[in-house]
Amino acid sequence: MSIQDSPLKLQFDSDGYAIARGRFSSDECDAYSKYFTDMIERGGDGYAEIWGSANLNDPLVRYPRLMQPHRSDSVAFSFMIDPRIADDLTTLCETPPLAVQTMVYYKPAGARGQALHQDQRYLNVQPGTCIAAWLALDDCDDENGCLTVVPGTHNIPVLCPIASDPEQSWTGETVPVPPGMTVKPIHMKRGDVLYFNGQLIHGSGKNISKDRFRRTLIAHYIDGAAESVSKHYFPVWNLAGEIVSQVQPGIDGEGGPCGVPREDEGEIRYEIVGSVSAALAAH
């Protein structure tokens, strides 16, 4: 079977995402869960995202996400360049991508989710886009706030953000679901990896379970032929774990253009109407 016929690539090209089932073992998920849960419970080793005005009843105050642990933590770094992920990415992308980010989300019981968004809005990769590898460390479903995606939105531009519902999302912005498209929950078993295109609209709901975590280890990559990425994502590594210098620091995502869907004779077209920062200022 050629790479072009791989089921993972066929689904990725048609829907903007693809699930690689059982890529990591239960033992590996246990080890990652323990390692990163211990890390956040002792304060996050300098990687925990700082929350400005904390509502102390919010479970995310105790379990904020970790940002960029790979920059000095060897476990996160090894995950980012794991050969299984590198192989999948090489199947999915024309040119082997470059690695720029790791994150850990904990989402304990009662925690809000992250409203619908597109990762390219933050990374602003030029030319091209980014791709995520999202490893489920716990089984994920509607109850504990699995990831949700809007299939087919990988072919649209970055949309202008609007205000999110603060009861449901810890981020203040979201993007509208384009007309005729629907939000789909992605149920996963621990050890499954979800790959998704940086333009794909995705997010997650609240964890309404009594006592379940929904932990995930995430890495973000950019097109191998990209010339720039937002200045916040340096250094840039190749999948052999070496720092590369061909990518330049670009403007961050807020400075990039954004569009809105318009219906035109039964077809949806996307009109670029301004910048993300102007849209944010308007709400």
- Site residues for ligand AKG per CB under 6 A: 105, 113-114, 119, 132, 134, 147, 202, 204, 216, 218
Distances (CA, A) of 93 to 30, 104, 143, 225, 283: 30, 24, 33, 11, 36
Closest to ligand AKG by CB, 134 vs 271, is 134
Q: How far is the CB of 16 from ligand AKG (least distance, A)?
A: 13
Which residue, judged by CB position, is nearest to ligand AKG in the bound state? 204
Closest to ligand AKG by CB, 164 vs 216, is 216
Rg (C-alpha) for the chain, rounded Å, is 18
For residues 17 and 6, give the distance between their C-alpha atoms in angstroms, rounded to a whole number. Answer: 14
Closest to ligand AKG by CB, 218 vs 226, is 218
For residues 255 and 198, give the distance between their C-alpha atoms in angstroms, rounded to a whole number. Answer: 17
Hey, what are 69's tokens?
């642990």
Closest to ligand AKG by CB, 89 vs 147, is 147
| Of residues 88, 67, 77, the one with CA closest to residue 24 | 88
Closest to ligand AKG by CB, 105 vs 221, is 105
Closest to ligand AKG by CB, 189 vs 274, is 189
CB of 258 within 8 A of CB of 159?
yes
Q: How far is the CB of 245 from ligand AKG (least distance, A)?
A: 26
Query: Using CA atoms in the order 121, 16, 18, 252, what is the torsion angle rounded to 10 degrees?
Result: -10
Q: How far is the CB of 203 from ligand AKG (least distance, A)?
A: 6
In the beta sheet, which residues pair with residue 220? 101, 132
Q: How far is the CB of 264 from ligand AKG (least distance, A)?
A: 30
For residues 200 and 17, give the distance between their C-alpha atoms in angstroms, rounded to a whole number. Answer: 8
Q: How far is the CB of 107 from ligand AKG (least distance, A)?
A: 6
Looking at residue 214, the DSSP 8-state letter turns out to be -
Q: How far is the CB of 266 from ligand AKG (least distance, A)?
A: 32
